[in-house]
Chains A and B, each alone.
Chain A
């Protein structure tokens, strides 16, 4: 297997306000071209991990221990100028809400070419040509028109395509997709998931896919890390975690999902005593 591009080792974080742990010694390894699902319910800490990698943690959260090794460099101890450059060039984010992630006052062209011009120093002409080919790659029908458009003139699905194009603009090694399809309709969601997967296969990019939807994990991810209360509960290849879960919580979570293919399965509430047991388990070091 190829060398990992991202190794998170013993990452812990606490809330600045009251010291409650948000992440508890989280470790995970991501290889080139791999899609890793990061799942858990709200408060599990899944988004915090993505934010920690990108150095965009809110000021209320403080990392207390651990390493984030990206291409063998520790993002937590790097000086800030080369760090910003490294993140800007090699790691990209696909945000959750395509409605607010684009600046409403700038044309798509300006927003797509920012990185190319600032980091790659591309000329306006080459940046524009690259932006056009990117839009074609994400199957946008009239790329010329879209480049001139403002975000409000595009539908939610179109905006998410633009954001995917922007994420791939600099050929990053790692993309953090933070619930990228939660705000979309199901039919659009499927198109976007497919697009993301195809782009990723073509470019060999690794993706950290933050989601709460086990269905999306099953269809899109190669491997999965399940979190509860900031701690890794179970991890492994998708086939193993979803089809033969070792931990009772993983099984309970699967049973709670509504199933359109098997309505008699699913929608079983997670037993309160299991949650209580997990809370205790997570709290003991």
Chain B
């Protein structure tokens, strides 16, 4: 088990209901009710669930972007649960995040150049601005992004290009772990395939560990080694992807799997009920 890059034990997160001038503090909303996950080095895990399952909160917590009520997060053998922002800073380079909505995750008033080079300079991954630009250009070529994009603003790019910029920004920091939060849900299938293949390639070439958050089981199956199925803040099933997908044990997993419409015609599918 020492092989784990990132491990979370019994995470619980309670969101405070806002406390107003005339209101007492409420009981709060339990987003996570004791979730344990682990990500091995170079491994890609999938975190699957529907809205309200807590999957996004879990992702944010793993990166210490959301506060944990109880439980423990260990990154590369080091307990980071209570680490302050200043102590987290050197670790931030090593754990990166790719967002669902590439438009919202790129600052609308910054050029793409600034968006991808600033983090490299901040973490001294690049020696100077020229070096940072050289690295940016190299990865843009690899991602088949036009170099002219560097001088543009986010809204001037297409959705697929923005998503690749988001991936490039994370990859340029040479992280050990990348969290991909619903990164293909807004994309067309053709761009989706492109982005997913890019990520698969990156994780293979750089030995990246990834956590792949998605509501779409077919996407998870295509890219992940292991999968966690989340429901209402609890893991209901976990295991190797092929095992979980071939013979799901929990009725909820079965229902989820059955609910995906396959492009192969199945006349009985619509009226058939499964699980739940």
The answer to whether A and B touch directly, with their CB atoms under 8 angstroms apart, is yes
Which residues of A (63-99) have their CB < 8 Å from a CB of B? none
Q: Are A267 and B256 in contact (CB under 8 A)?
A: no
Q: Encode contact with B along A242-274: 1 for CB under 8 Å, 0 otherwise.
A: 110000000011101111110100111110000
A260-B194 in contact given A42-B188, A187-B50, A212-B188 (Cβ < 8 Å): no
Q: Is B216 an interface residue (CB 8 A)?
A: yes
Closest residue on chain B to residue A274 by CB atoms: B190
Q: Of A156, A239, A257, A270, which is within 8 A of B263 by CB?
A: A257
Q: Encode contact with B along A226-242: 1 for CB under 8 Å, 0 otherwise.
A: 00000000000011001
Q: Of B192, B217, B219, B270, which is within 8 A of A219 by CB?
A: B270
A261 vs chain B, min Cβ distance (A): 5
Q: Encode contact with A along B235-276: 1 for CB under 8 Å, 0 otherwise.
A: 000000000010000000001111111111110011100001
B54 vs chain A, min Cβ distance (A): 14
Q: Is A14 an interface residue (CB 8 A)?
A: no
A194-B193 in contact given A185-B215, A260-B245, A263-B221 (Cβ < 8 Å): no
Complex alpha-carbon distance, A270 and B187, angstroms: 14
Q: Is B17 an interface residue (CB 8 A)?
A: no
Q: Are A267 and B263 in contact (CB under 8 A)?
A: no
A242-B193 in contact given A185-B50, A258-B218, A260-B217 (Cβ < 8 Å): no
A214-B192 in contact given A197-B270, A260-B217, A266-B222 (Cβ < 8 Å): no
Q: Is A189 an interface residue (CB 8 A)?
A: yes
B276 vs chain A, min Cβ distance (A): 7
Q: Are A187 and B259 in contact (CB under 8 A)?
A: yes
A222 vs chain B, min Cβ distance (A): 11
B99 vs chain A, min Cβ distance (A): 18
Q: Of B190, B260, B269, B271, which is within 8 A of A186 by CB?
A: B260
Q: Is A216 an interface residue (CB 8 A)?
A: yes
Q: Are B216 and A258 in contact (CB under 8 A)?
A: yes
Closest residue on chain A to residue B245 by CB atoms: A260
Q: Are B265 and A218 in contact (CB under 8 A)?
A: yes
Q: Are B265 and A261 in contact (CB under 8 A)?
A: no
Q: Are A189 and B159 in contact (CB under 8 A)?
A: no
Q: Of A185, A217, A242, A267, which is within 8 A of B222 by CB?
A: A267
Q: Is B51 an interface residue (CB 8 A)?
A: yes
Complex alpha-carbon distance, A187 and B276, angstroms: 10
Chain B residues within 8 Å of chain A by Cβ, number:
35
Q: Are A253 and B262 in contact (CB under 8 A)?
A: no
Complex alpha-carbon distance, A58 and B25, angstroms: 47
A269-B197 in contact given A186-B259, A261-B262 (Cβ < 8 Å): yes
Q: Are A242 and B263 in contact (CB under 8 A)?
A: yes
Q: Is A136 an interface residue (CB 8 A)?
A: no
Q: Is B130 an interface residue (CB 8 A)?
A: no
A243 vs chain B, min Cβ distance (A): 7
Q: Is A144 an interface residue (CB 8 A)?
A: no
Q: Are A243 and B50 in contact (CB under 8 A)?
A: no
Q: Are A218 and B261 in contact (CB under 8 A)?
A: yes
Q: Are A41 and B222 in contact (CB under 8 A)?
A: no
Closest residue on chain B to residue A270 by CB atoms: B190
Q: B-contacting residues of A (Cβ < 8 Å)? A: 41-42, 156, 185-190, 193-194, 197, 212-220, 238-239, 242-243, 252-254, 256-261, 263, 266-270, 275
Given contact pairs A218-B263, A258-B219, A259-B222, a sample of 8 additional A-B residue pairs in the complex whose CB atoms are under 8 Å apart: A186-B216, A186-B256, A197-B270, A238-B265, A258-B196, A258-B216, A258-B221, A260-B257
